[in-house]
Amino acid sequence: MANYIINQCLTNDEFIISAVTLSVGASIRFGVGENLFCGTIEAVTEEPITPFYYVDAEYDDCCECLADDGRGTLNFNFIICGTEDEINIEATNFCVDFELPTTGLTYEIQFGLLGTPFCATFQGLSEFGETNYYYSSGPFSLCENCGEEPELPISAGTEVFICYENCSGGTVTISVEHPTWTNQYGQDVVLLDAIQLGGHNGYYN
């Protein structure tokens, strides 16, 4: 049994769960008392476990976990910056372009591939959503920063780590450099499920 750090999808709240084997970078549905959550498995830890937890199921990512609740589709709720107007977005395009938004952060979104981007703050899940919305850039901590260079890195794929057994018999996890690619919006995206050969400066450093 090992203890794992779990970051809750949507909020990034941290939980510690013990299990025989969990895949770092994957997502799980887990319970704490009577409440069910989805979360990303971040790393092995020596920290004490969260009381009253249990593991329900494992998934490739947060979008897949949140969508598996019997509702049929996953939808996101946003408030358009500078207004009180809500929009509800069917999550497929957003999850493909960006993965999952975080509650309270602002994103640049557009309607259709040629639409004019606008800024909106993610509020959480919705019971319904319109299709044909796409992620454009972000996240941003405030509406006022939206549309500028992204404050937080854009990432894609499931995080890759290198694990090895040390001389004491313990398992050590190493973070590695990841390559980047440019998405359809001209933004750099960190490819988390690949390793940059040669480290920070690439193969020929």
Tell me: pLDDT of 171 over 80: no
In the chain, the number of structural domains is 3
Residue 44 lies in a domain: yes
Please check whether residues 53 and 111 belong to one and the same domain.
Answer: no
Residue 154 lies in a domain: no
Mean pLDDT rounded to a whole number for the chain: 82
- Residue 80: the pLDDT is 95
Last residue of a domain, one of 17, 46, 67: 67
Domain extent for 105: 75-149
Please check whether residues 120 and 177 belong to one and the same domain.
Answer: no
- Residue 173: the pLDDT is 66
Residue 18 lies in a domain: yes
Please check whether residues 7 and 52 belong to one and the same domain.
Answer: yes
Of 167, 175, 171, 108, nearest to 142 by C-alpha is 108
- Residue 158: the pLDDT is 60
DSSP the chain: -EEEEEEETTT--EEEEEES---TT-EEEEEETTEEEEEEEEEEE-SPPPTTEEEEEEESSHHHHHH-SSSSS-EEEEEETTS--EEEEESHHHHHHT----TT-EEEEEESTTSPPEEEEEEEEES--BSSEEEEEEEESSGGGTTSS-SS--EESPPPEEEEE-TTS-EEEEE----EEE-TTS-EEEETTS--TTGGG-TT-
Please check whether residues 144 and 170 belong to one and the same domain.
Answer: no
Residue 87 lies in a domain: yes
Please check whether residues 27 and 59 belong to one and the same domain.
Answer: yes
Residue 165 lies in a domain: yes
- Residue 12: the pLDDT is 86
- State the pLDDT confidence band at 185, using cuts at 50, 70 and 90: very low
- Average pLDDT over every residue of 89-100: 89
Last residue of a domain, one of 107, 129, 149: 149
- State the pLDDT confidence band at 159, using cuts at 50, 70 and 90: low
- Residue 198: the pLDDT is 62
Tell me: pLDDT of 182 over 80: no
- Residue 121: the pLDDT is 96
Residue 140 lies in a domain: yes
- Looking at residue 130, the DSSP 8-state letter turns out to be B
- pLDDT tens digits along 1-44: 889 999 999 888 899 988 888 888 889 999 888 888 999 998 88
Please check whether residues 165 and 145 belong to one and the same domain.
Answer: no
Residue 155 lies in a domain: no
Q: Quick one: what percent of the chain has pLDDT higher than 90? A: 33
Please check whether residues 24 and 56 belong to one and the same domain.
Answer: yes
- pLDDT tens digits along 30-40: 988 888 899 99
- Residue 105: the pLDDT is 93
Please check whether residues 114 and 60 belong to one and the same domain.
Answer: no
Q: Which of 7-16, 109-118, 138-147, 196-205 has the lowest mean pLDDT?
A: 196-205
Please check whether residues 80 and 131 belong to one and the same domain.
Answer: yes
Last residue of a domain, one of 50, 67, 84: 67
- pLDDT tens digits along 105-128: 999 999 988 889 999 999 999 989
Residue 47 lies in a domain: yes
